[in-house]
Amino acid sequence: MRIWEFEDNKDKVIPSDLVREQDFILRIRRLHRLAGSYFILNIILSNIDALTKSQRAWEAVQHKLQEFSKITTGTYAEMSNGDAFIIWEGTDDAHLLFSRTLAVLSPYESATKDTNDLLISYNLPQDYQALRERANRYIEVVRDISSGAVKAPDGAASDAPQGTLTAWGVDQISKSLQNIDMQPYCRAQSICRYDSAHKKWVPLAEEFYISFDEFRRDHFPKLDLIMPEHLFLVLCETLDNCLLKMVAQNADLIDGKTLHLNMAVNSTLSPAFAHFALALNPTQRSRITFELHRGDLLQNFGRTLDAIKVLKREGFGVALDSITLDMANYIDLDAFKTDYIKIKVPKDQRPTLLQDPALRKALEHIPVEKLIFAHCDSEQFLAYGRDLGVDKFQGWLIDKTLETTK
């Protein structure tokens, strides 16, 4: 787990409830060093009377702002008092983003409220110093709250991480996992082959995974575990270690089974992976395939190649997981020499992609025995895969078919 060092406060003791503010300061310092142009809005929810009187309304508008930031490819940063910043790369759409953010707030704000009391805009790099001073103001607010000088908005602050995932949030979850039994959150879904001769689905393997939704609901209900993706992958490493440790301590539970396990690239170098491999009967390794997420591939290409080599050298199968159809157009996926390539084809995937001849050519370049169409919940994508010659699928649509044929 990465430990952040706050250079501006080396000689000070930083209270744990300042980590959101410090995480934001570190982020804008990095952006300033990159010397790109960024548009940043400070959203002052604490100035909206309707929100300070209703925890439910406060949480609702925070959720809407988080969704808005995702849609507009912004980065959402929540402060400890419930206010927030959204960071966008580039400034060309600044006016539009300002008005659209104001529209999200409009159901809650007073018609007479000055917009300057709700939104403050900054442009990097020229407004860097003013933005730093604004971030420091939030540190002062937290310290005032800690001393009892200021009352936090009802439900806006909490000891548990909430809002968008931060480095501090990942660290808090990692610590709490020491006291959480993860076994109730382990799930399995079949990967099946279609037997065209007998017109039925035949289970080939079980994918074991941790249900993030249930885990979040029970322990961190106000936290978005998925974004930003680089911190989500760090969290995956922590959960990987829990899963590997649990399986290593109960190796008999998987003996003789054909399994797929999700694995973060960095986890292949962890002590938990070494212990897991040692705990297995050597003959079992060839029956286990580790799935490496596309996020790792895109963020650290070289390390992903190293992980594939390590896993294959140790006798495990390897799959590239969550590959989107549009990625197949631009990356030679077969060049990675993995055993499987899982193409993600959920219902919300653009069906117009299926009409792209370049995509079909790219998929036909991959040996058909390697392809698995995953998240397959649409008859349209099932038919497309079958037409390509794909016979391995995974998804709720397949699960329903299995249930009806039992």
Structural domains of the chain ordered from first start: 7-159 (3.30.70), 170-405 (3.20.20.450)
Mean pLDDT of 157-169: 63
* Structure-model confidence comparison of residues 239 and 227, the more confident one: 239
Q: How far apart are CA 148 and CA 129, in angstroms?
A: 29
- Residues 160/64, Cβ–Cβ less than 8 Å: no
Closest of 363, 315, 309, 360 to residue 336, by C-alpha: 309
Beta bridge partner(s), residue 126: none
Query: Does the pLDDT of residue 401 top 70, yes or no?
Result: yes
In the predicted model, is pLDDT for residue 249 greater than 60? yes
Tokens of residue 303, six digits:
């390390």
Q: Worst-scoring range by mean pLDDT, 243-247, 374-378, 393-397?
A: 243-247
Please answer whether residues 6 and 44 qualify as being in contact, where contact means their C-beta atoms are separated by less than 8 angstroms: no
The verdict on pTM exceeding 0.75 is: no
pLDDT for position 347: 73
Q: What is the pLDDT of residue 112?
A: 43
pLDDT of residue 183: 75
Residue 311 in contact with residue 290, Cβ under 8 Å? yes
Percent with pLDDT over 70 in the chain = 84
Each residue of 285-299: pLDDT tens digit? 999 999 998 888 887
pLDDT band for 82, please (50, 70, 90 cuts).
confident
Instruction: Give the up-direction half-sphere exposure of residue 179: CA atoms within 13 A in the CB hemisphere.
Output: 5
Mean pLDDT of 32-51: 86
**What is the rounded average pLDDT of the residues 39-51?**
87
Q: State residue 130's pLDDT score.
A: 87
| CB-CB neighbours of 143 under 10 Å | 14
CA distances from 214 to 127, 189, 208, 232 (A): 42, 16, 15, 16
Cβ atoms 6, 26 nearer than 8 A: yes
Q: How many helices (H) and strands (E) does the chain have?
A: 15, 14
